């Protein structure tokens, strides 16, 4: 049984304005988005430093300061957002932000509700990763450790949404689908963030650009697996949240409209990913083989990756919103 139990938190009453609750609801969505963003970076970016870049040399992640700084930023963002989201959600349940700071209310949420316990877990792991990333020197072992911590964080996101509310054997299937969805998304989106920082619009020496080309080819294979997993787990989640008998009219609900917007943004991401793999990456390879100027292909790649990354974070924003809305099967 994973249904959320009732807590001892009592709403503050009708004296609280609707606008106050609307602000708190918006804050909850914002903190969810920030937690998703931090989790994507911790798993996807750190993992990309291991499989996407060489182990040593001028193009290795160990040869630059920004990979470590990126992961430190992701851990700090996750830590702050997990605590902020816990307070905002507690305040929303009680009807006022001030109630979200009261120890009794926070303890009730952390011990009796799925999202509360998972928020504490995320904040704890983020703090541990933050200390490790600051105290330890950069190494592939540190990247792998960060990826493992990021994977645990991504898995915990399922307890922040609808995946942990389904009961019985079906509930375990739904939960597994939610976890797989988050892990696959992190592998893709986190790598995109790293790529945006790696790709320069100006050509470097042929060796550096050759490494970039090989990284793009390696990510194409990993990204294809991630996309397949996202589609498969997305279908599983939709079965539970929309239901096979509601596909005709689910778009009439707010949940359905936000879901359609998410699917549209995902389709746009796929379009950019396909362009990168089948058009822009081969174009860069051709310039390396022929010695032609690389300015055009590199600039086009950077523009495409930046745009794809921005669309990816818009998807995360829509997912954060979806998690606060009742799905059609709840009606």
pLDDT in tens, 282-305: 998 898 888 787 788 888 888 999
User: Is residue 3 a part of any domain in this protein?
Assistant: no
Cα pseudo-dihedral 171, 172, 177, 183, rounded to 10: 130
User: Is residue 231 a part of any domain in this protein?
Assistant: yes
Confidence band, pLDDT 50/70/90 cuts, at residue 59: confident
For the chain, the domain total comes to: 2
User: Is residue 12 a part of any domain in this protein?
Assistant: no
Confidence band, pLDDT 50/70/90 cuts, at residue 166: low
Q: Tell me what pLDDT residue 203 has.
A: 62
User: Is residue 5 a part of any domain in this protein?
Assistant: no
Sequence-ordered list of residues with C-beta below 8 angstroms from that of 325, at least 6 positions apart, any chain: 254, 255, 258
113-147 confidence digits (pLDDT tens): 888 999 999 999 999 999 999 999 899 999 999 99
User: Is residue 4 a part of any domain in this protein?
Assistant: no
Verify that 321 and 179 share a domain, yes or no. yes
Verify that 42 and 149 share a domain, yes or no. yes
Give the predicted TM-score (pTM) of the model: 0.89
Domain span at 247:
166-331
Are 190 and 198 in contact, with CB atoms under 8 Å apart? no
Are 117 and 73 in contact, with CB atoms under 8 Å apart? no
Question: 133, 160, 187: which is the final residue of a domain?
Answer: 160
Verify that 126 and 179 share a domain, yes or no. no
Verify that 83 and 97 share a domain, yes or no. yes
Verify that 73 and 175 share a domain, yes or no. no
Burial of 107-129, coded b for 16+ CB within 10 Å and e otherwise, reads ebbbeebbbbbbbbbbbebbbeb
User: Is residue 11 a part of any domain in this protein?
Assistant: no
Which of helix, strand or coil describes residue 59? coil
Question: 104, 131, 160: which is the final residue of a domain?
Answer: 160
**Pick from 138, 156, 118: nearest CA to 72:** 138
User: Is residue 10 a part of any domain in this protein?
Assistant: no
Verify that 38 and 128 share a domain, yes or no. yes
Question: 139, 160, 181: which is the final residue of a domain?
Answer: 160
Verify that 220 and 299 share a domain, yes or no. yes
Verify that 126 and 177 share a domain, yes or no. no
Percentage of the chain exceeding pLDDT 90? 51
Cα pseudo-dihedral 290, 293, 297, 299, rounded to 10: 160
Are 241 and 327 in contact, with CB atoms under 8 Å apart? yes
Verify that 93 and 206 share a domain, yes or no. no
Cα–Cα distance measured from residue 160 to residue 16, given in angstroms and rounded to the nearest whole number: 26
C-alpha separations of 160 from 97, 229, 234, 320 in Å: 19, 20, 17, 10
User: Is residue 113 a part of any domain in this protein?
Assistant: yes
**Pick from 87, 108, 90, 120: nearest CA to 7:** 108
39 conformational bin, left if phi > 0, alpha if psi -120 to 50, beta if neither: alpha
Verify that 170 and 298 share a domain, yes or no. yes
Report the pLDDT averaged over residues 77-93.
95
User: Above 80 in pLDDT, residue 36?
Assistant: yes
Confidence band, pLDDT 50/70/90 cuts, at residue 10: low
Q: Tell me what pLDDT residue 60 has.
A: 82
Verify that 45 and 154 share a domain, yes or no. yes
Sequence-ordered list of residues with C-beta below 8 angstroms from that of 324, at least 6 positions apart, any chain: 25, 28, 29, 32
Which of helix, strand or coil describes residue 104? helix
Percentage of the chain exceeding pLDDT 70? 87
Q: Tell me what pLDDT residue 1 has.
A: 33
Verify that 192 and 62 share a domain, yes or no. no
Q: Tell me what pLDDT residue 160 has.
A: 82
């Amino acid at each position: 049984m994973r249904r959320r139990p009732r807590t001892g938190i009592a709403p503050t009453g009708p004296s609280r304005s609707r606008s106050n609750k609307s602000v708190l609801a918006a804050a909850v969505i914002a903190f969810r988005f920030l937690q998703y963003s931090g989790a994507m970076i911790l798993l996807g970016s750190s993992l990309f430093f291991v499989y996407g870049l060489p182990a040593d040399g001028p193009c290795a992640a160990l040869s630059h300061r920004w990979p470590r700084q990126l992961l430190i930023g992701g851990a700090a963002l996750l830590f702050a957002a997990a605590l902020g989201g816990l307070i905002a959600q507690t305040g929303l349940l009680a009807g006022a932000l001030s109630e979200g700071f009261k120890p009794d209310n926070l303890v009730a949420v952390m011990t009796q509700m799925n999202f509360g316990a998972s928020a504490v877990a995320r904040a704890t792991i983020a703090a541990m990763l933050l200390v490790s990333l600051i105290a330890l020197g950069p190494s592939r072992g540190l990247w792998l450790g960060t990826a493992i911590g990021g994977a645990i964080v991504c898995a915990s996101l399922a307890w922040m949404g609808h995946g942990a509310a389904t009961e019985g054997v079906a509930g375990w299937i739904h939960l597994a689908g939610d976890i797989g969805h988050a892990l696959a998304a992190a592998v893709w989106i986190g790598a995109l963030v790293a790529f945006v920082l790696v790709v320069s619009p100006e050509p470097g020496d042929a060796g550096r650009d050759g490494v970039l080309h090989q990284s793009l080819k390696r990510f194409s294979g990993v990204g294809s697996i991630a996309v397949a997993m996202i589609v498969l787990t997305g279908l599983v989640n939709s079965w539970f949240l929309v239901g096979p008998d509601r596909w005709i009219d689910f778009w009439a609900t707010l949940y359905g409209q936000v879901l359609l917007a998410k699917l549209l943004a995902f389709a746009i991401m796929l379009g950019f990913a396909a362009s990168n793999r089948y058009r822009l990456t081969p174009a860069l390879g051709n310039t390396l083989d022929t010695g032609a100027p690389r300015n055009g292909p590199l600039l086009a790649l950077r523009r495409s990756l930046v745009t794809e990354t921005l669309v990816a974070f818009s998807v995360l924003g829509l997912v954060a919103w979806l998690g606060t809305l009742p799905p059609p099967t709840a009606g």
